[in-house]
């Protein structure tokens, strides 16, 4: 919820004319957001979403929580279009994204299209990760055009039909993400964003050089529109760990000072906001789908072990960002 509030704050500061529709996946999130009563923010409860999308509630019976959350992405686009017939375009944004320029500049990128998707743009050594999808489902956009609605409805139908956390090569699918590979075939006017400042993240940052000009971050020669703080985690109480080492990505002084430190400072402020309106927050890590061997969930065990090793290496290198109280070092 803290990350969502940072994202929403960046939208409201840089593009106050835009409305945010926030899907509350838990009762705690719903109660907290209602208490905050943020201007320009429409709350969508899980009950409302399930009531509006036939078949959505039933998918919860045989999917892990994270798989159900993936299923909800296309459903949220559909809900917003149906709720307000005056809305022309929707942009789904993961909660760990922050805007650095007005969202209007991003909408302008696909103004004459049916919508837009962003490629992962993996560097050559990470190309094997494209088995999970060429495009990133953490950011998608649709317009109220025949092609845009056709593509959205197709994605929603496929997500309701099958959305599981493993790669099904035979049927060309993984969760809700690999379906994006077929968007441009379904809607030829769907735009693939090539702007380097759209959906920059740890998995593709190695491709570019970042510079700072008059307080703005540039990706090569293009301004950073929004950054995806994927994998940023707080651990050992006093430290925030980035996810760059897991991708073999660089982590420069500029990235630390212009991206991560300001973001973490905002997260700490929003943590205090959340603590004031949410009495008890759910704890724990969202589990991925994995096989159990001798009573051990091997995939999730290895995932935690890998993160622990990376964290220790980062600590020895003095790389994590130290926090103490509300101060960020």
Q: At what angle do helices 146-161 and 65-83 cross, to 10 degrees?
A: 150
Burial 289-325 (b: 16+ CB within 10 A, else e): ebeeeeeebebbeeeeeebeebbeebeeeebbbebee
pLDDT of 296:
74
pLDDT of 326:
86
Per-residue pLDDT of the chain (329 residues; tens, 9 = 90+): 999 999 999 999 999 999 999 999 999 999 999 999 999 999 999 999 999 999 999 999 999 999 999 999 999 999 999 999 999 999 999 999 999 999 999 999 999 999 999 999 999 999 999 999 999 999 999 999 999 999 999 999 999 999 999 999 999 999 999 999 999 999 999 999 999 999 999 999 999 999 999 999 999 999 999 999 999 999 999 999 999 999 999 999 999 999 999 999 999 999 999 999 998 766 655 677 777 776 777 777 888 888 889 999 999 999 999 999 889 99
Element (H, E) at 213: strand 210-213
Looking at CATH, the fold of the domain delimited by 2-328 is given as Spore Coat Polysaccharide Biosynthesis Protein SpsA; Chain A (3.90.550)
pLDDT of 285:
57
CA distance 234 to 185: 41
Asked if 183 and 77 touch (Cβ cutoff 8 Å), the reply is no
Beta bridge pairs of residue 323:
328
CA distance 8 to 41: 8
Structural domain boundaries in the chain: 2-328
Residue 218: phi and psi, rounded to 5, are -120, 140
CA distance 187 to 320: 43
Please choose, from the candidates 191, 192, 190, 264, the residue with its C-alpha nearest in 3D space to the C-alpha of residue 227: 264
């Amino acid at each position: 919820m803290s990350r969502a509030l940072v994202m929403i704050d960046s939208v409201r500061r840089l593009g106050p004319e835009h409305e945010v529709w926030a899907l509350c996946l838990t009762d705690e999130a719903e109660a907290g957001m209602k208490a905050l009563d943020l201007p320009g923010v429409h709350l969508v409860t899980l009950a409302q979403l399930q009531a509006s999308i036939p078949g959505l509630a039933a998918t919860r019976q045989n999917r892990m929580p994270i798989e159900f959350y993936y299923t909800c992405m296309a459903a949220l686009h559909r809900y917003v279009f149906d709720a307000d017939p005056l809305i022309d375009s929707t942009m789904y944004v993961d909660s760990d994204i922050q805007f650095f320029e007005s969202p209007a500049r991003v909408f302008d990128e696909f103004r004459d299209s049916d919508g837009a998707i962003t490629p992962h743009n993996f560097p050559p050594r990470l190309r094997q990760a494209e088995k999970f999808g060429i495009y990133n489902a953490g950011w998608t956009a649709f317009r109220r055009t025949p092609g845009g609605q056709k593509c959205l409805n197709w994605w929603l139908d496929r997500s309701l039909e099958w959305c599981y956390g493993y790669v099904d090569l035979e049927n060309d699918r993984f969760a809700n993400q690999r379906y994006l590979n077929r968007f441009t075939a379904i809607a030829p006017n769907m735009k693939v964003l090539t702007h380097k400042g759209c959906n920059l993240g740890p998995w593709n940052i190695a491709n570019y050089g970042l510079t700072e000009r008059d307080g703005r971050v540039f990706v090569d020669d293009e301004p950073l529109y929004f950054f995806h703080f994927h994998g940023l985690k707080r651990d050992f109480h006093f430290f925030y760990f980035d996810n760059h080492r897991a991708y073999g990505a660089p982590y420069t002084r500029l990235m630390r000072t212009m991206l991560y430190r300001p973001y973490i400072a905002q997260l700490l402020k929003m943590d205090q906001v959340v603590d004031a309106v949410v009495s008890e927050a759910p704890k724990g890590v969202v589990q991925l789908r994995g096989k159990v061997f001798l009573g051990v969930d091997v995939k999730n065990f290895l995932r935690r072990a890998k993160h622990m090793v990376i964290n220790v290496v980062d600590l020895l290198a003095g790389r994590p960002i130290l926090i103490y109280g509300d101060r960020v070092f």
